[in-house]
Amino acid sequence: WQDILGYPVQSLTITSVYGTLRQYDTGPGYHAGVDLDGETGDAVFAVADGRVVLAEPLQVRGGAVILDHGLGVYSCYFHLSDFAVREEERVSKGQVIGDMGSTGLSTGTHLHWEIRVGGIAVDPFEWTRRRMLA
């Protein structure tokens, strides 16, 4: 793929930005994604074409969907209340993959969205502004 990423939700109200320093139970760390505000049940969209490699509830991240876009690029969507996709399914950019929620260790309804390249978290919004691997 060589496209600019789409947005995972319609409302882009950011409640926590990428890279902020945080204090976790295990010690200090940084926020590896972006938290986007919304209502329980709001649609969450695939930001690019890809393949579902994970669609299941996780203890900390709650309802989780991870998409493989190729070339080591993955998009991750956490705290979902429901899934609209299954593992190994192919998805298209803009397709609904689940619903926003407050599952796992969450302080309220939101989407935690990450982009990982070669296993390293990067700022998701950088990938919505320009082609990164063209």
> ∠27-31-33 over CA atoms, to 5°?
150
pLDDT (tens digit per residue) in 3-60: 789 999 998 899 999 988 877 777 788 889 999 999 999 999 999 999 999 999 999 9
Number of domains in the chain: 1
Supply the pLDDT for residue 29: 81
* % of the chain with per-residue pLDDT over 70: 95
Which CATH number characterizes residue 89's domain?
Answer: 2.70.70.10
Domain range enclosing 104: 14-128
pLDDT at 1: 53
Q: What is the DSSP string of the chain?
A: --PPP--SSS---EEE-TT-EEEETTEEEE--SEEEE--TT-EEE-SSSEEEEEEEEETTTEEEEEEEEETTEEEEEEEESEES--TT-EE-TT-EEEE-B--SS-SSSEEEEEEEETTEEE-TTHHHHS-S--
* Predicted confidence band of residue 102 (pLDDT cuts 50, 70, 90): very high
For the stretch 60-69, pLDDT in tens is 999 999 999 9
Q: Does residue 7 lie in a domain region?
A: no
Report yes or no on 117 lying in a domain.
yes
Question: Is the per-residue pLDDT at 133 higher than 80?
Answer: no
| 2, part of any domain | no
